Amino acid sequence: MTKHPEPVDGEAGDKHGDGGTKMEKKPDGAVDEKLPDETVEKLIIEESVLTGKEHDPNFVDEIVRHGGKDVQTCLQCGNCTGVCPVSLKTPYKTRNLIKLCQYGYKRIFFTIPWICAGCYRCYEHCPADINPAEVFTAIRHILVRDKGAPAFLREMVNILMKYGQNNVPSDDIRRFRETEGLPPLWPDEKEYDAVIRELKLLFDATGYDRLMGLRKDDAK
Amino acid sequence: MRYAIYAGCTIPNRFPGIENATRIILGPEKLGAELVDIKGFTCCPALPTVYSTDRFTWLVMAARNLTLVQDEDADLVTLCNGCFSSLLKAAEELQNVVKGNRVNEVLSKVGRQYRGRLARVEGHRNFYEPVHVRHIIETLHKDFGKDAISAKVTHPFSGLRVAVHYGCHYLRPTMHTAIDDPSAPVMLDSLVEATGAESVNFADKLSCCGAGGGIRFQVPKLANAITKDKYSAMHAAGAECIVTGCPYCLFQFDHAQKELKVKPLPVLHISELMALAMGVPADRLGLDWHLVKVEPVLRKMGGGGK
Amino acid sequence: MASRIGVFVCHCGSNIGGVVDCPAVAGYASGLKDVVVAKANMYTCSTAGQEEIKKAIRENKLDRVVVASCSPRLHEPTFRRVVEEAGINPFLLHMVNLREQCSWVHMKEKEAATEKAKALVRMGVARVRRLDPLKVLEEPAERRVLVVGGGIAGIQAALDLAALGIESVLVERNPSIGGRMAQLDKTFPTGDCAICVLAPKMVEALHQPLITLLTYSELNEVGGHAGNFDVVIERKARYVDEAKCMGCGACAEKCPAKVPNEFDQGKGLRKAIYVPFAQAAPLKYTIDAASCIHFKTGKCGLCAKVCPVGAVDFEQKPRELKLRVGAIIVATGFDPYKPHVHGYLGYGEHVNVITALELERLISASGPTGGHVRKPSDGKVPRSVAFIQCVGSRNRKAIVGNAYCSRVCCMYTMKLAQLLKEHYSDISTSIYYIDIRAFGKGFEEFYHKVRSMSGVEYIRGRPARVTEDPETHSLTIRAEETLLNKITEREYDLVVLSTALVPAEGADRLQRILGISRSSDGFFQEVHPKLRPVETARDGIFICGCAQGPKDIPDTVAQAKAAASGAAGLLMKGKVTIDPQTASVNEELCEGCGLCTTVCPYGAPRIVDTPAGKRARIIEALCHGCGTCAAACPRRAISCRGFTDEQVSGEADEAFGHGEAGK
């Protein structure tokens, strides 16, 4: 229940009606002080205004080209943020990220971690029928082409190229599989070499290994 | 019905018990379907890796997996939400002739072509449809049904309070086929009830476990923070265990509860729960690889116990 | 005898002239066979342009005219009138479209467009040469209007017609007129009491001798055409003799059957024998057979026993009424959008989530709680209320809600928030919005007034989740407050969904009966959104109010008056004209096979017996000149006046250079 406060006699902001801001002794002994200069410098003077130089006029089109669909029709209603598990736990708000796309602020995405869970709740709730998860996928496409893949991803793709899968089993897993008569895990099979070679050819054909910076003959 | 099981990466390499459980319950011992073994599957590929960075390569890899099954006259049954979403999406996108041709141009370098599954023959013309990509939950529910499953249950879990976790990619995004109502799904609850257990209602039942998108790999703390909310809701509702249809969600719940140091709830894949209820001995299900001990669940099993 | 043809090429400002070289086209035209004069002017449709045509006709003794300008849909009637005033049969005018079909689609190819324009004019000249003079037919018009729907729109239209001395029949499917406005407590932005303003109009309509009220009735069939529609109305069985019923209410007092009251949106109860609300007009009781014990089991019948005038008649049958009317006004209004049960907003699942119209009934003194707003969970007054805007509106997902904005919800929410504060000074209200639309007269001022009230908070953010406390049934809304850049969770006693306006149920059925179109949003479609907002594509059928699209009461009343004016304009001359460009049958070729009768959408061809055998004849009044029968006829026996084979193929020949235009 909000009641608007009544003005008191004395100056505006004069909470105690004793005429002017005074130094108050707070219960825990700390004293209200003037802000130190370094803090003022940091907060006020270094705080900058966006001037439009950050605006990349092609960013929205680039997003569309990589499968992200138009972000311009976003109403900024915030429903996506409200259902996003990552927005709940971090300062990154889905709606705000889409706004940055609208603004064309491509550079800022270089500094934002790749933590969209891809749960698609944002898409399910969006009244403008936008798919923020796909927009972020498109941005990952753009970032990996502009500045290369992050280390964690290269690691994952490396394993994929080597084993054809995301991980490899331990010995006791292998033993269990044998005991239970499960099909031998593919890296166990002699023929699986052929599969790895196939993958290599495919990655070569699409250029994915080069994209991930994992092509052996590329000068690094 | 003929099924080709696609077990993905996480299950065969970390939780082979789930694979075994599924083969046993679908196979001649229990529900009596015919299973086809396919060789040469690779990673589906998982969405956070390849799809995030090059949609075309993802489609090529997924199409390659589908070519292994397209001539088998069998449904491809996935045991993982991620694999389900990846392969289903691929099967749908390959219906686009332009995309399909581009993919086949690359696949021809390894001697493969994606055509789809033969739907019918008219004269000398063949008509193809997308490979049927299915999820084990939907397969059990639609092709067999609660009654047929209950009939095979010899060790019911009466009184077991289960918190079901559908996960994300089983339900969303709905622009690709929605197999269950994304705001009020029923199939996993129904299967759990078929084993005699009770599916409890809890807040935010349909939210994400937190592991996906590469978050578990990069920032486990964030994944765990998201899981904590789910755990709290499940715990508050009096759940005794968690049942899910995705091994990565299982992995997340398993590890997060230990890392968060909360009183853990055992986590099971629906295939494991079902296999136990149908009398499959626990030692055939590799339950020791679950981080959170599942003994409390086994104790609730009727019909002779472990 | 050779024709004397005049060709007038219009620049249409720069619309045509900016692309097509009009003087060149006129010059080209003047070299065509039978063309006596060819001019180019700036705005042919202007007074000056029209005068120029008339002058040229007189000076050059022209007998046929080609106007090469915009689409005939705009000015064909204008130019027909012009040539008629100069003494030429109006159907010896032909229009060539150099704008929509030439300059506007070839804006970057000026030379090619000019060549095309020349070809089009050549074709037009060939056509006009072969045209026949035609006579416009007249028919007496029925001076009576059918108004479908008895809400404020229908009532206002009927009253306006009566003021012009025109009879109207008002058909309403509920037992009383009044519509949605009767359900409102107060109206925005003035706070007028809705029923206080509406009831006098209802009574006026009831007593006006030129208005016939047919309540508890539905329109079932419409045949005919403007000026002469044949309509069939079903008078449903009330099981109460309207002539005898005094509206005393003794029957309802004794009736043991209670069912949810539609008027109160299900929040209150009524009896099986009922009037929908106290100010009902006519004040006659109705038995709802589906909930009546007598009809279900054969027992009871108390109402019949206690009625002092013996008005209850269980044997009453529905009756059919056939009428002829000259025009029809559709005023069928809207229904409130039904939020999905078990959707994420919790409607239908969480007991303290209600819709705005349900709140309106609770807050209304005539409502089920006597104007006291009570929580459905425990009957206590809520201390905090949240409104959620745009429920069912502004949603582009195909299966959820509608893409359009419902126009009035921002304002009715403000009104409800203000009413709550007036009733309960300590109540706090929060309004979750995406945008606020306060565009009308007095609206922005009202918005300012409501915002300045303490205890009213506007929160920008679309709620992501509404959860319920299992014990207190209070609700928690989680939303990103976009202006704070923070996700918040706030608790409320009551949540109100500001739901969309959707077309009233049965709009699709009515559409088929009337043969009119609906726009993609489902509301009935006007001919032109700016200039002809209350007419439909079918002559003589008008639409107004929320049947045409969501709107508030002032706009509804204005449209109702406009529709009445349109209908009156059609009928006041006492006759209607029929376009002579209709089909006609050559009975020497016709064999009476009847194929034309199966393809005509208007039922115009009929097979009749003649001394020579069965033949098809066209009822010209029904014919729209679409040409389908002519195309279907296997014997080529049917031709369309103004579009005969010779006329059309002669024009087509000209396009391919096989004609006789010369040059």
Amino acid at C639: S
C355 and C498 part of one domain: yes
Interface B:C, Cβ pairs < 8 A = 6
Q: A36-40, B212-216, C129-133: which range is least confident on average?
A: A36-40
CB contact under 8 A, C482 and A78: yes
Distance CA B287, CA C645 (A): 85
Strands B117-122 vs C5-10: parallel, antiparallel or unpaired:
unpaired
Residue B160: band (very low, low, confident or very high) from pLDDT cuts 50, 70, 90:
very high
Per-residue pLDDT reduced to its tens digit, B50-98: 999 999 999 999 999 999 999 998 999 999 999 999 999 999 999 999 9
Would C176 be classed as within a structural domain?
yes
Domain ranges of chain A: 59-147, 151-211
Same domain, C146 and C270: no
> Which has the closest alpha carbon to C284: C248, C255, C309?
C248
**Cα–Cα distance measured from residue C503 to residue C551, given in angstroms and rounded to the nearest whole number:** 12
Residue closest to B236 by CA, chosen among B201, B261, B270, B207: B201
Distance of CA B126 to the CA centre of its chain: 32
Task: Enter the pTM of the model.
Answer: 0.85
Domain boundary among C471, C502, C533: C502
In a domain, C454, yes or no: yes
Architecture field, domain A59-147: Orthogonal Bundle (1.10)
Cβ <8 Å between A75 and C455:
no
Strand partners, C369: none
How many angstroms away from the CA of A56 is the closest CA of chain C? 24
Residue A2 contacts C, CB cutoff 8 Å: yes
Q: Report the number of distinct structural domains present in chain C.
A: 5
Three-state SS at C126: helix
d(Cα C566, Cα C552) in Å, to the nearest integer?
21
Given a cut of 90, is residue C2 above it in pLDDT? no
Identify the CATH number of the domain in which residue C324 sits: 3.50.50.60
Residues of C contacting chain B (CB within 8 angstroms)? 342-344, 465, 467
- Domain range for C49 is 5-136
pLDDT reading at C400 higher than 80: no
Q: Are residues C254 and C217 in the same domain?
A: no
At residue C328, the 3 state secondary structure works out as strand
Q: Within 10 Å of residue C298's Cβ, how many Cβ atoms? A: 8
Cβ atoms within 10 Å of A6's Cβ, excluding its own = 5
Does C282 lie in the same domain as C165?
A: no
Residue C240: pLDDT above 80? yes
User: B280 pLDDT band (50/70/90 cuts)?
Assistant: very high
From CA C542, how far away is CA C571, in angstroms rounded?
Answer: 13
Nearest CA in chain B to A132: B173
Q: How far apart are CA B256 and CA A152, in angstroms?
A: 20
**3-state secondary structure at position A161:** helix
In this prediction, what percent of chain B has a pLDDT beyond 70?
98
C450/C305 same-domain check: no
> For C565-588, how does the pLDDT look when each residue is reduced to its tens digit (9 = 90+)?
999 999 999 999 888 999 999 999
At B32-55, the pLDDT tens digits run 999 999 988 999 998 888 999 999
Between the alpha carbon of residue A206 and those of residues A155, A215, C350, the distances in Å are 19, 12, 52
Asked if the Cβ–Cβ distance from A82 to C464 is below 8 Å, we say: yes
Q: Quick check: B269 and B79 in contact, CB under 8 A?
A: yes
Joined tokens for residue C281: 């007009």
Does residue A19 carry a pLDDT above 60? no
pLDDT of residue A33: 63
Residue of A nearest to C485 (CA): A93
- From the list A89, A137, A169, which residue is nearest B52 (CB)? A137
Looking at CA atoms only, how far is residue B51 from chain A in angstroms? Answer: 8
Average pLDDT over residues C415-419: 97
φ, ψ of residue C221 in degrees (nearest 5): -145, 145
And the tokens for B279? 């009398």
Whether residue C355 lies inside any domain: the answer is yes
Residue C603's domain is classified under what CATH number? 3.30.70.20
Is there a single domain that holds both residue C587 and residue C540? Answer: no
- pLDDT category of residue A6 using cuts at 50, 70 and 90: very low
Which of C396, C426, C463 is facing A128, going by the closest CB pair? C396
Q: For residue A3, is pLDDT > 90?
A: no
CB contact under 8 A, C434 and A128: no
| C326/C354 same-domain check | no
CATH code of the domain containing C101: 3.40.50
Mark yes or no for CB contact C396/A77 under 8 Å: no
User: Is A95–C428 a contact, with Cβ atoms under 8 angstroms apart?
Assistant: no
Average pLDDT, chain C: 94
Rounded-to-integer distance, Cα C96 and Cα A214, Å: 67
Find the chain C residues whose C-beta atoms sit closer than 8 A to any C-beta of A.
Answer: 344, 383-384, 390, 394-397, 401, 426, 428, 434-435, 454-455, 457, 460-465, 478-482, 485, 487
- Domain-located, residue C545: yes
Lowest mean pLDDT among A126-130, A146-150, C245-249: A146-150
Write the DSSP string, B253-283: HHHHHHHHT--PPPEEEHHHHHHHHTT--GG
The mean pLDDT value for A192-211 works out to 91
Q: What is the pLDDT of residues C369-380, one digit of tens each?
A: 999 999 999 999
Pick the last residue of a domain from C88, C117, C136: C136
CA angle C562, C566, C571 (to 5 degrees): 145
C405: left (phi over 0), alpha (psi -120 to 50) or beta: beta
Q: Is C146 helix (H, G, I), strand (E, B) or coil?
A: strand
C564, C617: one domain? no
Contacts of B219 in chain A (CB under 8 A): 113, 115
Q: How far apart are CA C366 and CA C357, in angstroms?
A: 14
Tokens read off for C395 = 């949603």
Give the mutation candidate from A79, A84, A89, A99 for the C interface (greatest C CB count, under 10 A): A79
3-class SS at B306?
A: coil
C330-340 mean pLDDT: 95
**Same-domain pairing of C277 and C211:** no
Q: How many CA atoms lie within 13 A of C388 on its CB side?
A: 29
Q: Tell me the mean pLDDT in the region C185-212.
A: 96
Measured between CA atoms, how close is A65 to chain C, in angstroms? 22
- Write down which chains contact chain B via at least 3 CB pairs under 8 A: A, C
Say whether both C464 and C480 belong to one domain.
Answer: yes
- Residue C41: inside a domain, yes or no? yes
Q: Which residues of B touch A154 (CB under 8 A)?
A: none
Q: For each of the domains in chain B, give its residue range(s) and CATH number, in order of start.
A: 2-134 (1.20.1050.140), 148-299 (3.40.50.11810)
Q: Residue B255 and residue B265: Cα distance in Å, rounded?
A: 11
Backbone angles phi, psi at C641, to 5 degrees: -65, 130
Comparing CB atoms, the residue among B10, B60, B215 nearest residue A206 is: B60
DSSP-derived secondary structure letter, C268: S
Q: Which residues in chain A are closer than 8 Å to C460, comparing Cβ atoms?
A: 78
Report whether C629 contacts C583 (CB < 8 A).
yes
H or E element in which residue C225 lies: strand C217-225
Asked whether residue C651 is assigned to any structural domain, the reply reads: no
Note whether B42 contacts A157, CB cutoff 8 Å.
Answer: no
Residue C592 shares a structural domain with residue C566: no
CA distance A202 to C243: 86
Residues C377 and C326 in one domain: no
Task: Strands of C504-546 (E only): list them.
Answer: 541-543
Q: pLDDT tens-digit profile of C127-183?
A: 999 999 999 989 999 999 999 999 999 999 999 999 999 999 999 999 999 999 999
Q: What is the mean pLDDT of chain B?
A: 92
Q: Among residues C502, C522, C550, which one ends one of the domains?
A: C502
Residue A31 has a pLDDT of: 57
**By CA distance, what is A95's nearest residue in C?**
C482
